[in-house]
Structure 1
Amino acid sequence: MTSSSLHRRLGLGDAVFIGLGSMIGAGVFAVWAPAADAAGTGLLIGLAIAAIVAFCNATSSAQLAAAYPTSGGTYAYGRAELGPWWGFIAGWGFVVGKIASCAAMALTFAAYAAPAGWERPVAIAAVIALTAVNWFGVTRTAGAARVIVVISLGALAAAVTAAFSTSAAPGWFSAETLMQGGGYGILQSAGLLFFAFAGYARIATMGEEVRDPRRVIPRAIVIAFLVALAVYAVVAVTVLSALGPAGVAASTEPVADAAARSGWAWIGVVVRVGAAAASLGALLALIAGVTRTTFAMSREGDLPRLLDRVHPRWGVPHRAELAAGLVAVTLVALVDMRGAIGFSSFGVLLYYFVANVAAFRQRRDARRYPAALQIVGATGCLVLAATLPWQSVVGGVIVVGAGVLYRVIRLRVARQD
């Protein structure tokens, strides 16, 4: 029988890079087209709204992580502060939403790295390879995240420089383009762009693997969030000014297309390498986060207990990683990237709604941030979830309902035993 506790091996820098690896890759090469389609240049307002909601969520997560330095993130926090059902809803929303994110990132990687017609096989291979990396220990995950983040930021810097070396698209920023999506379109773009900021959850879910977690996790969450926000703001202005809102909405590779306007022959290769690296970094961190929440839920009996084992040599929840990898491979074979982004946002917004409510309920001696931030965060999560594309909302409600039904049946069976 193997142990069911994890090993504390990560420091502040490791935690920051794991969070950045998820956030930088989670949307910077993938999310601009659907956001521009919803709101045009108004996606800049959507980005600001998403950032405000995400900041509230980040502070709630940091406050909770300081009090509960364990695996599972908001699943564990919700159980402790609000009760088992709240924890389950958060954990289930996170697991299903982030496995959808795994599929989106694998497909983004393949869009930049695979020959035409080979996208899905290459995406499946990426999921298998990075599941194997995670299997061999969290320090390898952190080391790979550092390399990937440096490559991604270097490629983005080159792309931004190339795009700004040419004249801007005429009329890309005006009162008309800023409001062309209307209030609903701007809120929908904010919900889609929220997908980009959710990576700091990876840090909180790894609470059992961080040294001095009460100090390190809150600092790592805030640092990673602020760096990612700066990167996204610069890239948003870059792609809009280079391509215009209609051009961004129509592009499958907006960052690459914006850089290509420079005419620099080599820039396309650099952007593709950076996009592939960023997507792999996000996928690597996503797999780690999903498996830690799955591990925590299994340990409490909310998912099958056979998934709560820790590898005796590598110190990782290897059965949970194998299960998450298999589900992600299945989704890669079946879904498209835009649908995966919307569905992921729904699940993660539900997760952070619970985080904000749990942080609001904490005692005064555990409070690090004003309660108003948690109220704004919880309200924002509900509004953004409701204004996502209707397919994402309907799919999310169905899957969450299936999870609730599963837990009801499990509890009834347990009572009968």
Structure 2
Amino acid sequence: MSSHGSEPRLRRQLSLLDAVSVGLGAIIGAGIFVVIGLAAGLAGPAVILSVIISGVSATFTALSFCELGASIPRAGGVYEYGHTLIHPLVGFVMGWMWVSGNIILGATASLSFGFYLASAFPWVDPKLGAVLLILSVTLVNVLGAKLSAGVNNVIVAGKVLALMVFVLVGIFGINPSHFQNFMPRGFLPVLTAAGLFYFAYIGFPRISTMAEEIVNPEENIPKAILLALYISMALYVSTAVVAVGLVGYESLASSTAPIATAAERLGVKPLVEAGALLATFSVTLTSVMGQSRVFFAMARNREVPYKLASVPERLGTPVYSILLSGALMLTLALSMDISGLASLTSFSVLFTHVLTNIAAIRLRAAGRPRKSYSLRGVPVHAYLGAFLSLVLSLSLGLATVMAGLLNMALAVAWYYSYKLLTGSRRHHLATTEPA
């Protein structure tokens, strides 16, 4: 690892509000606007309970991120935790898997934005909408973290407002009969739906990738992670209650836009569709933001080309890492059927959550300062977070697990090949320099 004295650094300029907004921008997206319908089809009216269970499960891992973010406030998030506390190779694989999952997630969100845009303006090609979005968020990210956070703050406020209006207006139209036969298929499908809906919460770690740019990180990172998670959870639960109460779980399950279907009953469908556009915009924006910081951290440790760690003084952002993130996302959005890769996103992120919890367990042995979320000195949250993340990742099916393992093998191959190549190059330069 390079010494911290001369390495590239990022500016601390993001407030607690900015950090919370990054988390909300990453969390509130397709999960509530689309996945809630799939979960309702499994759990029935008890989808409300599924949303609560998945939120509680996410909290265990969130507490580990709080400890790690406060103890190691450096750019890169999961990559830096694995690199510092487990092994550089493990950290690299964690970073690789996290970036892979988030590139797919961002590309999916950009295409969702294109489809929502095309539904409002039929003459717009969905892929053109996705391209314009990716180019826009890449430019905003290049121009500065504070600008990106400011744009994200406005967008997050808009999509949160849209959901709040839906809840406040819809609560008066709830039909209690829609909650009868609360668990039509029993409790096991409720747990399955909780596992599915868990992925609506997985954006909160994106706060940790921005750790080097957050003011007073020891205090603000834990606060931001928990605030973003609990605000999202409150919105998700209240939205689920109102949606089921308005149209019944069967209507939600049969709709590709379940919240819009429920909002149509209230006459506020355009507002919810606008909220969905804002949600996919902010997910794509924060996806580029997070990916680029992991590339930056990898480059700073010379595990990918060092140019990616370049931070122009005038902009204060890792420009080349941002451009690479945008280019990869754009290529994926234009060239592949991303819908088939959604489960790979989930596996990739859950895999990093398993190892992040292991890193949190190792914090005490490493003698680093930590927040006290332990129970009688034992980090129970980290053990539970690791176990639940492992169970959920393995529940995604053999094909997804095999694809995830193949992606991990590619990460290991890159790590050793790049180390060998750059090591040989440095040795060659050292032996050919004139005395």
| TM-score when normalising by structure 2 | 0.87
Query: Do the aligned partners of 1:41 and 1:245 also contact (CA within 8 Å) in 2?
Result: yes
Distance (Å, rounded) in 1 between the aligned partners of 2:295 and 2:114: 26
**Following TM superposition, by how much is the alpha carbon of 1:170 offset from its aligned partner in structure 2, in angstroms?**
4.7
- Superposed counterparts of 1:141-290, under 5 Å: 141-168=148-175, 170-177=177-184, 179=186, 183=188, 185-262=189-266, 264=267, 267-290=268-291
Distance (Å, rounded) in 2 between the aligned partners of 1:189 and 1:331: 28
Distance (Å, rounded) in 2 between the aligned partners of 1:37 and 1:304: 46
- Superposed counterparts of 1:327-342, under 5 Å: 327-336=328-337, 338-342=339-343
| CA displacement, residues 203-248 of structure 1 (integer Å, 9 cap, x when unaligned) | 1111111111112111111111111111111112222333333322
> Which structure 1 residue ranges, 5 or more long, are not aligned?
none
Change (3 A) 1:136 1:343: same
1:401 equivalent in alignment to 2:404: no
Matching residue of 2:39: 35
| CA displacement, residues 69-120 of structure 1 (integer Å, 9 cap, x when unaligned) | 1100111111111111221121111100111110121122223222447212
Distance (Å, rounded) in 1 between the aligned partners of 2:404 and 2:180: 34
Residue from 77, 83, 86 that aligns with 2:87: 83
Distance (Å, rounded) in 1 between the aligned partners of 2:360 and 2:79: 13
**Following TM superposition, by how much is the alpha carbon of 1:24 offset from its aligned partner in structure 2, in angstroms?**
1.9
Amino acid at match of 2:386: A
Amino acid at match of 1:276: L
| TM-score when normalising by structure 1 | 0.91
3-state secondary structure, aligned to 2:294: helix
1:388 equivalent in alignment to 2:392: no
Amino acid at match of 1:399: N
Which structure is larger by alpha-carbon Rg, 1 or 2? 2
Change (3 A) 1:302 1:177: farther
Q: How big is the alpha-carbon RMSD for the aligned residues of Structure 1 and Structure 2?
A: 2.4
Aligned-residue sequence identity (percent) comes to 32
Amino acid at match of 2:13: R
Amino acid at match of 1:396: G
3-state secondary structure, aligned to 2:310: coil
Query: Do the aligned partners of 1:287 and 1:324 also contact (CA within 8 Å) in 2?
Result: yes
Matching residue of 1:294: 295
Matching residue of 1:362: 363
Distance (Å, rounded) in 1 between the aligned partners of 2:309 and 2:34: 33
Matching residue of 1:74: 78
| CA displacement, residues 152-171 of structure 1 (integer Å, 9 cap, x when unaligned) | 11111222244444353855
- Superposed counterparts of 1:6-25, under 5 Å: 6-25=10-29
Query: Do the aligned partners of 2:43 and 2:193 also contact (CA within 8 Å) in 1?
Result: yes
Change (3 A) 1:406 1:189: farther
Instruction: State the aligned residue count.
Output: 410
| CA displacement, residues 163-186 of structure 1 (integer Å, 9 cap, x when unaligned) | 44435385555254253xx63x54
Query: Do the aligned partners of 1:71 and 1:296 also contact (CA within 8 Å) in 2?
Result: yes
3-state secondary structure, aligned to 2:316: coil
Distance (Å, rounded) in 1 between the aligned partners of 2:134 and 2:195: 26
